[in-house]
Copies of this chain bind each other. A is one copy, B any other.
Amino acid sequence: VKRITLLTDFGTADGYVAAVKGVMATLVTDALFDDASHDIAQGDVRAAAWALGGYWQLYPAGTVHVVVVDPGVGSDRRALACNADGRFLVAPDNGVLTRVLHAAPDAHVVAITNAALLRPEVSTTFHGRDVFAPAAAHLAQGGALDDLGPRVADAVVLPERSAVQEPHGCRGTVVHVDRYGNLVTNIPGDWVGIDAAVRIGTTMTRVVRTYSDVEPGDLLALTGSRGTLEISVRNGSALERVWLSHELEVHVTSAPGDATI
Contact = CB atoms under 8 A, between A and B. Distances in A.
Interface of A: 1, 3, 5, 7, 10-19, 21-23, 25-26, 29-30, 32-43, 47, 50-60, 63, 71-76, 123-126, 129-130, 176, 178-180, 209-212, 222-225, 230, 235
A42 B236 CA distance: 9
Nearest to A58: B22
A60 B25 contact: yes
B211 A52 contact: no
B53 A210 contact: no
A23 B58 contact: yes
Q: Tell me whether chain A's interface is mostly helix, strand or loop, or mixed.
A: loop
B13 A47 contact: yes
Nearest to A74: B210
A119 to B, nearest CB: 10
Given A15-B51, A18-B51, A72-B212, 16 more contacts: A5-B21, A12-B36, A14-B51, A15-B36, A15-B53, A15-B55, A18-B37, A18-B58, A23-B58, A26-B59, A42-B179, A43-B235, A123-B223, A123-B225, A124-B222, A126-B225
A117 to B, nearest CB: 17
10 contacts: A12-B37, A13-B41, A14-B176, A15-B36, A15-B54, A16-B54, A17-B37, A19-B58, A21-B55, A75-B210
A58 B12 CA distance: 16
A123 B33 CA distance: 28
The 6 residue pairs across chains A and B that have the minimum distance between CB atoms: A22-B58, A15-B51, A74-B210, A126-B225, A12-B37, A75-B212
B125 A222 contact: yes
Nearest to A54: B15
A34 B25 contact: yes
Given A1-B29, A26-B58, A37 B13 contact: yes
Contact of A54 (B19, B34, B75): B19
A237 B50 CA distance: 25
Contacts of A35: 12, 35
Interface centre among A14, A30, A76 (most CB of B within 10 A): A14
A122 to B, nearest CB: 10
Given A14-B176, A18-B54, A125 B210 contact: yes
